[in-house]
Structure 1
Amino acid sequence: MNLYEKIVNREEKISLVGLGYVGMPIAVAFAKKTDVIGFDVNKQKVELYKNGIDPTKEVGNEVIKNTTVNFTSNEISLREAKFHIVAVPTPVREDRTPDLTPVESASRTLGRNLTKGSIVVFESTVYPGVTEEICVPILEKESGLKYGVDFKVGYSPERINPGDKEHRLETITKVVSGMDQETLDVIAKVYELVVEVGVYKAESIKVAEAAKVIENSQRDINIAFMNELSIIFNKMGIDTKAVLEAAGTKWNFLKFSPGLVGGHCIGVDPYYLTYKAEQMGYHSQIILSGRKINDDMGKYVAESTVKKMIKANKQINGSKVAIFGVTFKENCPDVRNTKVIDVIKELEEYGIEVKVVDPAADKEDLWNEYKITLSNAEEIKGIDAVIFAVPHEEFKAIHLEDVQRMFKPEEQSYLEAINEVAATSEFDIEVDRKECVLMDIKGLFDRKEAENAGILYWRF
């Protein structure tokens, strides 16, 4: 009886090392089929899970309450499992080089508790070679076991999209790889327990590592192209969204949109690939050019906001700007590597007071990471400009009238007068609309409606 059969018969257990936005949903999915140990060094997070609370909002509190996952922060519990999945973050440092500290630490923890006959599968996004050249030696050193004899290793890149209820672990083809054919077959069968659409067997661990890192690099480059187009078209006075809608009528036009590119994947993974390329003597041109464009977009939004405020005769130093949305993407509490922070920092450099509204963001993480406290939408009054940075579902219920009420009283009176005159006049009236500044990054509002209401409007 091999390891797969023992797992199915609940004679052996699966462990998840790292219970974040990726690891926790995997643990919950496997727990429907077999016995699972969910380990994380964050004791507070583990206690939330034990109490039936899902801080990631990926599966929901009800699912967490009913799951059979044994959530623990006691690493000794890992000795009870024989199939280990490592799903920890792989961020970059300030200098844009890979920070392998989390995956190295997880390897040490797992190595201290690794037993003979185990298989270790890494899911963290890395550059080709990390699993075998960095993680395996750590596992050997900490465990005293021999790679390929006492334990085996594989790699299966995570493809979970945080906040996405359609593309989930069960519905995304899973790329799997193993150090040898026997290991690959076991890993494939184990993942097939939960991945409904099946798995793809990569020919090697390095191929699987490379496949993952280029997925997000490709997306990053395409978004960078859209961002560059947005900069160009804004200078031309052309609406980028209108251009993309027109171009999108062609069957082979790739439908990407401009925006702030943050998070723990797209804004990070390309640097892993270019780092390894540099080690091999090749300096990336396209990938790094795309990264530079996307990394600078937060500053671009802030500068565009200031320009609009100047056009509206605002006193910049001491003015107030409200930002709606601070997470790295919509309908997700994750604030890691959010590029909205770049907007905030740049505005503050101008002496602008920034208020942040986000009903989805993890308040504790936001404070620990950026020292930012959130405001309620009802508290936003007397501002000089508003930026809708993230299109959360909750924000779709906000109307232009609600936005207008956020501005200073004298500006609200101006808008009311403009609307009254426009409603009673038989002629088109040219009005110098300068009072209220609305930066609608993701196009939540209708541009013409906003402009007709007397709002100075901008979007990518």
Structure 2
Amino acid sequence: MKLYEQIVNREEKISLIGLGYVGMPIAVAFAKKVEVIGFDVNKPKIDLYKNGVDPTKEVGNEVIKNTTVDFTSDESRLREAKFHIVAVPTPVKDDHTPDLTPVESASRTLGRNLTKGSIVVFESTVYPGVTEDICVPILEKESGLKGGVDFKVGYSPERINPGDKVHRLESIIKVVSGQDDETLDMVAKVYELVVDAGVHKATSIKVAEAAKVIENSQRDINIAFMNELSIIFNKMGIDTKAVLNAAGTKWNFLNFSPGLVGGHCIGVDPYYLTYKAEQMGYHSQIILSGRKINDDMGKYVAESTVKKMIKANKQINGAKVAIFGVTFKENCPDVRNTKVVDVIRELEEYGIDVKVVDPAADKEDLWRGYRINLCEVEDIKEMDAVIFAVPHDEFKAMRLEDIKMMFRSTGYVKLKAMDEVAATSEFDIENESKGCVLIDLKGMFNRIEAEETGFVYWRL
């Protein structure tokens, strides 16, 4: 435990490789207790951190201004640390196979600067075997050192929930693992410095890797079940949210709801597990079926929107639709693998002009990843339909009456006298009442109130 004592006494440093939504909060947490080097290859991001700006909005600008993390894009600075934490993304390719490029690149970078006696802990979500079978050989090749002898490795899967201000690094039990008992104990003690909830020592690195990948696979399957129920109940003319509220009164009913499943975890991690299963000769049935349902939900939402617009006598080609929310989840700027884009692209296939509003989204990432520009709420006028895709707090505060003003017509007619009734044909009243199509994916608004206000209302 000499290295642990040196770290606590600030004689040795911890490094964080990858300062995104996961790595940056970890770096900040450790910096309250020990010396931390925060490394990222993205120099503009490093410059933002150095200037006290938190582009992830995970901890806030004030915390970044006051943290003692030594932010750098100079990889040679990694040589100053003896305990390294790798927290880079692990996406999938277009064919849904794992893209290990980021973690392999991080391993090469660290390997070039790895010193004898170091411990390397990977946090990136991977399938069982990646740490020991892929990362360690890269570290050995680049460093010229021998794994298990000159340096040790561990794995501690990230459990940070972006945008969640309640379930944070400090309050979530941390799963830790190491290639031997000594390393395991060392990794556990280091994480115990910042994780108040404590640690769980996994019996092996592969067990820890597997535990992480099934956490999100389980959520993915449960949400897929809710999405399938939503499709069925919509066909039956039954409100899915009302059904779930009723079923939820039973003590052991699992609290999941339908929705778009994107982001860098739930919509990705199951493919890592099924990929490894395929290599072992087993073709997943439940996991891939759930993935298929969730991957198709963007198209389903777009098609349902168009159907509602047709019923409201809207001309589809050339119609204007506003989408509120484009991030993969609420109150978070992260747009990686957001399935709202699937809705946008599908609507555009119908010749619909789509406007997107999102005060939380990272504008640069959105443009770089999807070539989508954002609009302000004030720009949303003369719409044929409005879709609330992400329940940001700002959107929850909006009133139905204000949303009504975004449409081509007010959507309903207030009759003040009998002569107005005589002057308005039954056909006109019917069409006015069907003029405003409101798609509320997460059930932010009250269905009855929306319909009484004159909306053609639909939700998952």
- Asked whether the two chains share a fold, i.e. TM above 0.5, the reply is yes
Q: Distance in 2 between matches of 1:375 and 1:4?
A: 51
- Per-residue CA deviations over 1:268-302 (Å, capped at 9, x if unaligned) read 00000000000000000000000000000000000
Q: Distance in 1 between matches of 2:343 and 2:356?
A: 11
Alpha-carbon shift at residue 418 of structure 1 (Å): 6.6
Alpha-carbon shift at residue 416 of structure 1 (Å): 3.8
DSSP 3-state at the match of 1:14: strand
Q: Distance in 2 between matches of 1:208 and 1:108?
A: 23
Map 1:181-330; keep pairs closer than 5 Å: 181-330=181-330
Q: Distance in 2 between matches of 1:176 and 1:400?
A: 48
Work out which of the residue numbers 391, 414, 417 in structure 1 matches 2:414: 417
- Indicate the residue corresponding to 1:85 in structure 2: 85
Alpha-carbon shift at residue 2 of structure 1 (Å): 1.3
Q: Distance in 2 between matches of 1:77 and 1:231?
A: 53
- Per-residue CA deviations over 1:125-164 (Å, capped at 9, x if unaligned) read 0000000000000000000000111000000000000000
Alpha-carbon shift at residue 306 of structure 1 (Å): 0.3
Q: Does 1:334 align with 2:334?
A: yes
DSSP 3-state at the match of 1:326: coil
DSSP 3-state at the match of 2:414: helix
- Per-residue CA deviations over 1:179-234 (Å, capped at 9, x if unaligned) read 00000000000000000010000000000000000000000000000000000000
Q: Is the 8 A contact 1:440 1:457 kept in 2?
A: yes
- Per-residue CA deviations over 1:360-398 (Å, capped at 9, x if unaligned) read 000000000001110000110001000000000011111
Alpha-carbon shift at residue 417 of structure 1 (Å): 2.7
Gapped runs of 5+ residues in structure 2?
Answer: none
- Indicate the residue corresponding to 2:392 in structure 1: 392
Alpha-carbon shift at residue 444 of structure 1 (Å): 1.1
Which residue identity is paired with 2:119? I
Q: Distance in 2 between matches of 1:403 and 1:242?
A: 23
DSSP 3-state at the match of 1:109: helix
Distance 1:62-1:115 versus aligned 2 partners, 3 A rule: same
Q: Distance in 1 between matches of 2:148 and 2:326?
A: 45
- Indicate the residue corresponding to 1:162 in structure 2: 162
Which residue identity is paired with 2:47? E
DSSP 3-state at the match of 1:417: coil
- Indicate the residue corresponding to 1:136 in structure 2: 136
- Indicate the residue corresponding to 2:30 in structure 1: 30
Q: Distance in 2 between matches of 1:312 and 1:37?
A: 58
Q: Distance in 2 between matches of 1:24 and 1:131?
A: 21
Which residue identity is paired with 1:193? L
- Indicate the residue corresponding to 2:43 in structure 1: 43
Q: Distance in 2 between matches of 1:252 and 1:212?
A: 24
Q: Distance in 1 between matches of 2:187 and 2:242?
A: 47
Which residue identity is paired with 2:225? F
DSSP 3-state at the match of 2:114: coil
- Indicate the residue corresponding to 2:56 in structure 1: 56
DSSP 3-state at the match of 1:406: coil
Q: Distance in 1 between matches of 2:238 and 2:250?
A: 20
DSSP 3-state at the match of 1:415: coil
Q: Distance in 2 between matches of 1:3 and 1:371?
A: 47
Q: Is the 8 A contact 1:42 1:73 kept in 2?
A: yes
Q: Is the 8 A contact 1:36 1:70 kept in 2?
A: yes
- Per-residue CA deviations over 1:300-334 (Å, capped at 9, x if unaligned) read 00000000000011110000000000000000000
Q: Distance in 2 between matches of 1:50 and 1:75?
A: 16
Q: Distance in 1 between matches of 2:444 and 2:128?
A: 39
Q: Distance in 2 between matches of 1:47 and 1:267?
A: 31
Alpha-carbon shift at residue 29 of structure 1 (Å): 0.1
- Per-residue CA deviations over 1:226-271 (Å, capped at 9, x if unaligned) read 0000000000000000000000000110010000000000000000
DSSP 3-state at the match of 2:71: strand
Q: Is the 8 A contact 1:123 1:157 kept in 2?
A: yes
- Per-residue CA deviations over 1:58-97 (Å, capped at 9, x if unaligned) read 0000000000000000000000000000000000000000
Runs of 4 or more off by more than 4 Å in structure 1? 418-421, 429-432
Which residue identity is paired with 1:67? T
Alpha-carbon shift at residue 415 of structure 1 (Å): 1.5
- Per-residue CA deviations over 1:348-367 (Å, capped at 9, x if unaligned) read 00000000000000000000
Which residue identity is paired with 1:239? D
Alpha-carbon shift at residue 431 of structure 1 (Å): 5.5
RMSD of aligned alpha carbons: 1.4
Q: Distance in 2 between matches of 1:246 and 1:295?
A: 27
Q: Distance in 1 between matches of 2:440 and 2:416?
A: 21
Map 1:171-186; keep pairs closer than 5 Å: 171-186=171-186
Q: Distance in 1 between matches of 2:227 and 2:101?
A: 32
